[in-house]
Every structure is written in C-alpha cells, then in structure tokens.
Chain A
Amino acid sequence: MAITDIKEYAHLTTEDVEALGRELDQIRAEFEESLGESDARYIRNTIRFQRSLEFGSRAVLFASWFPPAWVLGTVGLGVAKIVENMEIGHNVIHGQWDWMNDPEIHSSTWEWDISDPAAHWKQTHNHMHHKYTNVVGLDPDVGYGLLRVTRDNRWTPFNLGNPIYNFILAALFEYGVAIQHLELGKVAAGKKDREEFEELRAEVLKKIAKQIGKDYVLFPALTGPAFLTTLAANFTANVIRNFWSNAIIFCGHFPDGAEKFTKEQYRNETPAEWYLRQMLGSANFKAGPIMRFMSGNLCYQIEHHLFPDMPSNRLKDIAARVEALADKYDLPYTTGSFPKMYLQTWRTIAKLALPDRYLTATRDDAPETNSELKFRIRGGLKDTFAGIDPVTGARRGLRSAMNATKKQRGIVPAIRKLIGRPATPAESVRALQAA
C-alpha cells in the first residue's frame, strides 16, 4: 500500500532527509540568484518563435486544398500549439517567469491556447497536483479520476476498459484537463456545491466555445474555398497536440519507479520530506535539445517537481546537480528513453485493467507502486543496506536495496526452495497485512 513512511522507504534518517532538503534549498537559491538577461531573452525568443510559427502555419492553410500545403500547415500548427502549451503556457502559469516582473509574461495574466481556463488549471495542477504529488486520494492527476494506474486503487469492472479510456483521454486530452476542475465525480456524489459547480462549468464552456469557434468556424470560414481542409487541419493539429502533451505528462508520472504515497505520509510531512516525495514520485526521460524544447523541458520532470517555478531553460543544469545528490544519498533517479518510459505507462495501464488476482505483484512490491513493507518482508535487506559500506565508504541506501531486490527475483525462489520456505514475497506481505 503506497509509501506511508518515506524515511524508512528511502533508507534515510531524519538528519539525512533534513540535510538533503538543505542541499536542495541551496541549489534553488543559487539558480534564482543567477537569473538574468539571457533567461529573459530565452522566453521572449520562444514566444516570438511560437507566434511566428502559428501565424505562418495559419497563412499556409489558406492553400490547404493543396495537399503539401495541408501537411506543412498542419504540422506547423501542431508544433506551434505544442510549444504554446508546453514550453510557454505550462511554464508561465507556473510562475517560472514572474521574476521578470513583466505583466505580459506573468502567471497572473496568462491565458493559454487550450480548452482549460488558466485560472482552473492553477488550482488543479499548480496547487493540487504539485502540492499533493502522487498522494493517492489527494492528487487529482493519479489516474485523472478515470484510469487505474496503481494497485492502491481497488479494482472494479469499470477498469476493464483502462487502455481504451487512456486512448480516448489522450486524443481529447485538452477536454479531460478542462473538466478536471469541475470534479464531476464529486458532483455525481452530491458532494460539490451546486452554485459553484455551475459557475465553473460556465467558465469552461465559454473557453471551449472560444477555442472551437476559432479553430472550427472562423479560420475555416476565413480560408473560404479551403473551409473543409482547414477545418481538418485544425482538428488534426489539436489531436497531435493532445496526444503529445498526454504522452509527456504520463512519462513524468506513470513509468515504473514513480512512487505513490499515502495520506499518512502527507499528514506529518516536513518541507524536506516534501522534496524527497517529489524526487521519488516523478520520472525523467532522456532528451536532446529538440525533445527538451518540445516537451517544455518536462523531460526534467523530477527537477520541475522540486522547483515548479524555476525557469524551464535552467532545468538541464539543475538536473546535473540533482542527479549528483541522488548518487550521494543512494536514491533512485528514475530516467530512461522516451519510448521506454511511454511504453511502461501503457504496460501499467493495460495490466491494471485486470483484477488483482491475475496480477503477480502486490501493491507493496510492484513495478508501479512500492512501499516500505517491501523491505520489511524481504528479510534483512534494510539492515544490510542502510548506512555506509565499510569497504568502499559509499552510502548504501534505497538504490542499492532496489538493485538487490531485482537480483533476488531471480535467485530467491531457488534459495527459498532450498531452505524449505515456499512463501513468495507477495504472500508474505499479505500475511503481514492480515496480521
């Protein structure tokens, strides 16, 4: 059952966690201090590039009856929308550029080119998701109230459609995000104030109407004879953007190694433990310069979660520092290629469509969810790995323990037979929970 005691799980003492927190504070202070003209130029150039690309692509679509123009305009518009949502919108609304004190590039005034009103997103994403990251039951992004992404959520027959829901969610992602703040689940259960709900719904519908009016009525009408091809191009560009942003976001939170947490862990959390939760709950993927840009630098999801309002162009340098810290404290630093991370999210979503009895792992020792119980059951691992290696002088902690449990998977069954203990780790956990 998701992590209840983050210190025990991370194989760190209270002092270690506090020291880690201080080191992260130091990194934040150093980078904040160094922000200046080149950073400001970066965001202004990005905005100029995005607006020029969008303008150019929409101009090309006036000739969208000509297939090469259709392809060029559609891809250009798709890319422009991705850049607008990811590298500009997401990051500006996070307040990453507030330090410039420019009212035109500011979290309090920015509105983005997507169905979700920025004000709603500041609540569900900036506040709920970033504060309660991966706390099952508090973070609305764990499954988006639709998908089963962890064994911590009880299986129901509805979950059989998990992969199908995921496909639909990806295609219509902007609408999924737009209705997130409406909390339809709560509305259905009668737990949400009716008046407030209607007010929020009106805001969402107004924004959706503007977006649809622009892409599916006004621009097609403006291109005259190219009405239908422009409409198709705008639709395709929106779908490209939806799949892309969905993939980037899922790669940050649903690959193996992005841990989940219980409300118990959250309840008594210190600021340093908050940092640790962000590190263990997020995942990066490896990216070159173009992928970095196109993902809005969310290939550095771990760093983004540690410092949500740090300008995105700095995350690369921060990542090097954070990875070094992970080494120092022997913590996992979850990363891999983009296809690998994305496939892992699909694997989990497909797997969890099934009831638990068809799954081999437990919710304390599964690829997508671990807990400190895992190490209690796997006898003696914690004692062996906490502390300093007497030979190398390196710290032995969670990462070493995780690697050891991987090895155990192959060897342990053999040993278990040898010593006459047929219980699998999964069975042991169940026994412990029962007791």
Chain B
Amino acid sequence: MKFKDLARWLEEPIEGVPALENRRLNAVRGFFARLTTPLIPDDYLHLVNPLWSARELRGRVVEVRPETADSATLVIKPGWGFRFDYQPGQFVGIGLHINGRWHWRSYSLISPPARDEGVISIAVKAMPEGFLSTHLVGGVKPGTIVRLAAPQGDFTLTEPPPEKILFVTAGSGITPVVGMLRTLARRDEIADIAHIHSARRSDDIMFRAELSGYEERAGYQLHLQLTTEDGKFMPEMLDEHFPDWREREVWACGPQALLDNLEVYMEEQGRAGHLHVERFTINRTANAGEGGTVKFRRSGKAVEVDGATTVLEAGEKVGVRMPFGCRMGICHTCVAELSEGFVRDLRSGRESNPGERVKTCVNTPAGNCTFEL
C-alpha cells in the first residue's frame, strides 16, 4: 500500500468533517475515530477544552474593547480548523449562546489576515432592535466561547489593490473598510485613498482615533459627514469633496438608501463597473408572513410562493428532492439549513434566522430566503 492510500484509509472515518491543516494530525484523528465511532475524537477533546475541536469552528472571546457608547471591538481567538487566509472586507458568522440558544449573525472582520497573533477581531454596533448586537456590545465577558463560520463574502479589495481608491461608508458600514485600511497600512500599501464617512454626530464615529492616525499619513484623505449638522451625504457631493473620484475604484458599505443612490449615480456617470457594495441583511420583521422567493442553493432552483405555502411544498413544486416524513412537524426528517433570509413557523409564529436548521414542512418564507438543498 502506498503512503497516500494509507493516509486516505486513515482519514476515511472523518470524511465529511472539516479537516485539520496538518495532514499527519488528521490521519491520527482518523485512526482514533475508528475507536470513537460514531463520534470523532474532537467530541471528547472539546469537553476538556472547547477550542480543541475542528468539527465546528469555535472561538474564545479574548477582549471586548468599547469603540463608542454603543459599539465595541471583540477580539476572538479561533479554535482548531480556522484558516487565517481570509481577505480584508470579508465577514465571519458568529454564534453566541444566550439563554440556552445559539444566536447567529455575521460581522465584518476588522483584523488584517495574519496568523502570527492567532486572533481575529470584529466590530459590533448595538442596533435598537438587535437582540444579539446589544448583547455583544454590552454583555459579553472575556473567556466566552462563541461559534464561528468560515470567513466569506466578495466585498474584498482586488489583488494588488488599485492605485486610487474611494471608500464611501456610513455608520457601522465602516467596519469592513477598517479591515481593508488596517491590512493596507500593515503592508504599507496606502497609496491614494479618499474616504467619505457619514455618522450622526462626532461621538458616533467608530474608530475615530484610528482614522485620524491614517489622516496624518500621506495618501489618505477623510471627509466626515455629520448628518445631524451637515445633512445626508448625497453622491452628487462627490465632485465637491473629491473631484478626481471618477478615476477611483469605489467600495461602499452602509444603509440601503445610500447604496441605492450611489448605484444609480455611478451608473449615470458611466462608472457602474467600478463600484463594489456590501449590503447588510434587511430587517426581518418587515417581511413577516408575506411569502417570497425560496431558493434552493444546491439544486439551483427557485420559486415564488405566498406566506401560506410551506418551504417543503415550495421545493416540491419545482422538483427539488426534498426530504420529508410526517408533514406535521413531529418527526424531524425534513429539517434543512436556512442559509439566507427568514422563515416563520406556521404553528407558533416563531421566526428563524440564517444559520438555523428548520422543519421545512411547517415553515413558510418570510421574505426571500435560501435553503441548503
């Protein structure tokens, strides 16, 4: 038997479980999995230390650092299996255990992708109705274990970064851009960056001191738009602040209205191909009980249904091979993962978020949603 075959044989029992980067360690893990079947060694190890498991990415909160009155930076040390090769601007899913349940949201990474410190950071702004964000800003203690999802998202800088960049941000939309700025600063690649950032008042500006630091360097100019004093930022103001903006590649992140305006304006100015935007999830209660388009990611099918049609029925309509059993919500054979959007349980009215696994036979779409089927 060749070494390669042996390694494959050893790793066979842990197929379908996230692999460790170290092949040799993975083979050992596979060998022990034959003894711990149907579990894997991680299931025993993580009882000793929650970070000793690659089955599910976990992390430990190392530090919670206030940024403004209602925002904070969380520094997290990821456990086994986390890869630091993400790109600035990407986000991670983070799950926090509150009152018995794991709550799940995505936040932009603000730390440069570097393994040397072994930690990542995210910045969180407490939203008025954001149960989890409020908790993250005000209630998380260092040492707390969180779940993590691998970094993802295509709101990233091109490689190498363009000579001339324009960032347009508002509120907490600054966070992915801070991730980019930090990475550029670390690599000493800040060549010519123009940045327009909107905030309500100067007290509300996240990373104020850090931005001032960049302003002192050559190659970075910041325009702050304080909306309570100066009014809302409109794309037409670009000419006034940065007349050369048409030569720049634009990255924008902020509220829907800002991004919509910017898209329209850039199109009119013939610069549509040079805009990169990041939209945060729409407020879910807005779409309660309305139905919507249900997408099935793996089968690549989609169907529009009303708020009384279950996800199971929706899938069957377009011929997706849906798992099902009792069709009355008791047997759990139809459970599937909701990856985007929101659904509502017909029986209890409870809404589920992305990252939850739901019973498709008794859940109806609350707005557009995507399933891993």
Contacts and interface: CB of A to CB of B under 8 A. Distances in A.
A93 B328 CA distance: 16
Contact of A309 (B101, B102, B330, B333): B330
A112 B38 contact: yes
Interface string A94-105: 110011111110
Contacts of A218: 34-35
Contacts of A106: 357
Q: Is the interface of A mostly helix, strand, loop or mixed?
A: helix
A127 B333 contact: yes
B357 A98 contact: yes
A222 B35 contact: yes
B349 to A, nearest CB: 10
A210 interface: yes
Contact of A131 (B34, B35, B331): B331
B325 interface: yes
Interface string B316-341: 00000000011010111101110000
A100 B102 contact: yes
Interface residues of A, number: 47
B56 interface: yes
B263 interface: no
Max chain B Cβ within 10 angstroms of own Cβ: one of A32, A95, A101: A101
Interface string B35-68: 1011100011001000000011000000000000
B283 interface: no
B345 to A, nearest CB: 10
B331 A210 contact: no
Interface string B87-103: 00000000101011111
Contacts of A94: 332
B158 interface: no
A39 interface: yes
Given A131-B330, A131-B331, A101 B102 contact: yes
Nearest to A47: B47
A405 interface: no
Nearest to A127: B325
B43 A95 contact: no
Contacts of A385: none
Contacts of B35: 214, 218-219, 222
A118 B335 CA distance: 14
Contact of B38 (A35, A104, A210): A210
A55 interface: yes
Given A51-B47, A99-B101, A131-B328, A107 B335 contact: yes
A211 B359 CA distance: 30
Given A55-B44, A101-B356, A107-B335, A308 B99 contact: no
Contact of A130 (B34, B56, B331): B331
A210 B100 contact: no
A126 B330 contact: yes
B51 to A, nearest CB: 14
B72 to A, nearest CB: 23
A39 B357 contact: no
B55 to A, nearest CB: 7
Contact of B34 (A51, A123, A213): A213
B328 A98 contact: no
B245 interface: no
A218 B37 CA distance: 11
A271 B329 CA distance: 12
A93 B37 contact: no
Given A95-B335, A214-B37, A29 B348 contact: yes
Contact of A108 (B101, B103, B330, B335): B335
A126 B325 contact: yes
Contacts of A29: 348
Contacts of A219: 35
A222 B355 CA distance: 40
Interface in B278-301: none
Among all A-B residue pairs, the 10 with the closest Cβ atoms: A127-B325, A40-B100, A95-B332, A111-B38, A126-B331, A127-B331, A101-B102, A131-B326, A107-B332, A36-B100
Interface of A: 29, 32, 35-41, 48, 51-52, 55, 93-95, 98-104, 106-108, 111-113, 122-123, 126-127, 130-131, 207, 210-211, 213-214, 218-219, 222, 271, 274, 308-309
Given A108-B337, A126-B333, 20 more contacts: A32-B348, A36-B100, A37-B100, A41-B100, A51-B44, A55-B44, A95-B359, A101-B104, A111-B38, A126-B332, A127-B326, A127-B331, A130-B330, A131-B325, A211-B37, A213-B34, A213-B37, A214-B35, A214-B37, A308-B331
